[in-house]
Amino acid sequence: MRYFWTRRLPPPGRIVLVESGSRYLLEGLIPGLRESFPDAPIDLVTCYPGLPAGFPPETAVYRVADYRGQARRLLGDLRAGGPTIVGVVCSAEPIMTKWKWWVVLGLPAKAFILNENGDYFWIDWGHWSAIRHFVLFRCGLAGAGAVRTLTRLFLFPFTLLYLVMFAAWAHAGRLRRR
């Protein structure tokens, strides 16, 4: 990942989009990308069949099913195109989690995250507060759910200890009755 310490955008070149969420999110992003980067070709990394609406038929499509166990080969194929921008769908769906972060961290390109609301932000130092809020929200540590999550985290060791002690007591009682 490049351009983390600067807010400036790289010169528009090839764009790689990782479709790791619902297809409608990516379909809603395409008009905005075409407006901002009209001449940039877009490549797609996906696990779905077919192309999303709005993609031209000449789009280079990389299906993760073709790269099972060969993540480095996927990165090599993507790097060969010389991408300058990587976009990742980060909705609340656990789709292609390993692949999307592998692509973001492995490609020398500026990255942005598209969330389930259709909003996006660049992954750079200037947007650290949005990134922090995004991570806290995903971990359940933002808003009203934070107290419940922290309480569960605090009570987990005690709950586990209680269950282990109960199992030991039950097995010991069974052994004594023999």
Determine the pLDDT at residue 131. 83
One domain, residues 28 and 100: yes
- The range of the structural domain enclosing residue 23 comes to 14-138
Section 2-6 average pLDDT: 77
Determine the pLDDT at residue 100. 87
**Which sign, positive or negative, has the C-alpha torsion 23, 37, 131, 59?**
positive
Round the average pLDDT of the chain to a whole number and report it. 87
**Which sign, positive or negative, has the C-alpha torsion 51, 56, 58, 64?**
negative
* 9-18, 46-55, 137-146, 165-174: least confident range: 137-146
Tell me the per-residue pLDDT of 144-178, one tens digit each, with 9 for 90 and over.
Answer: 778 888 899 999 999 999 999 999 999 999 999 88
One domain, residues 105 and 161: no
Section 76-103 average pLDDT: 88
> What is the value of pTM for the model shown?
0.74
One domain, residues 57 and 111: yes
How many structural domains are present in the chain? 2
Q: H helices of 84-127, where?
A: 97-106
Determine the pLDDT at residue 139. 78
Residue 63 within a domain? yes
Residue 148 within a domain? yes
One domain, residues 122 and 86: yes
